[in-house]
Amino acid sequence: MRITTWNVNSVRQRLEHLLAVLREEAPDVLCLQELKCQDDAFPRAEVEAAGYRVETHGQKGFNGVAILSREPLEDVRRGLPGDPADEQARYIEGVAAGVRVASIYLPNGNPAPGPKYEYKLAWFDRLIAHAGTLLGREEPLVLAGDYNVIPEERDVANPDAWRGDALFLPDSRAKLRELEFLGLTDAVRACDDSGALYTFWDYQAGAFQRNLGIRIDHLLLSPQAADRLQGVAIHRHTRGWEKPSDHVPVSVVLG
């Protein structure tokens, strides 16, 4: 079973790229982030014609997450528990072929310190609480998405350039570790311990051409999913497409 996560950075602007990923990588499940459209504006017909069922949690102009699946999606939840007043569309989960999958778009948090960073950390706390509940089910679970956190110095080409950024601040990294310490496995690091494994390159200053990247798109696996882990892939070539997303898809294969 191949599960892929991708911050598409506007699904309508990058529809052809999305369809190309579905053709080339043929994921069983694709988790999308940053749709930047409401549910009724998602290109559902084109994606369904490619053989995928669609569940979305959209928001006009900002955020937005989706799960595309070859198999029926069951037990779908839209929105992260813990704050009924939170209207930002950043979380959706469902069960496909016996695996619970979540598509996550964690807040950026910049500028930090400030209200946006406080929201990021509070959102993280809610995610940690919900993940603990899900892990109690003792089922295959994949928490996939754009976490907006650089875990370690080896996950960034130029650490000094990111020291004061919300993606690399100590509190952000500590929250990600706290989430993992619940019993989750970073799929990429379980398969590849090398450096320069990046999933995002800024549009500015030739970052991609100079390989000044960061790794912020993660797939975290429950023990039941980690036991089935067969491999991962970072689809770096998509960043070289015309008018690409600044993120690239990342896939995990479960046996």
Q: What sections of the chain are H helices per DSSP? A: 15-25, 44-49, 115-135, 170-180, 187-191, 223-226
- pLDDT at residue number 205: 87
Pairing label, strands 217-221, 185-186: antiparallel
- pLDDT at residue number 114: 98
- Name 72's Cβ contacts closer than 8 Å, sequence gap at least 6: 53, 96
**Taking the chain (255 residues) in consecutive chunks of 10 residues, what is each chunk's mean pLDDT?**
98 98 98 98 98 98 98 98 97 98 98 98 98 98 99 97 97 98 98 96 95 98 98 98 98 98
- Which residues are annotated as catalytic? 105, 146
CA distances from 219 to 108, 128, 162, 229, 239 (A): 18, 15, 22, 11, 19
For 163, counting Cβ atoms within 10 Å of its Cβ (0-12 exposed, 13-18 middle, 19+ buried), the class is: exposed
- pLDDT at residue number 223: 98
Cα–Cα distance measured from residue 55 to residue 68, given in angstroms and rounded to the nearest whole number? 7
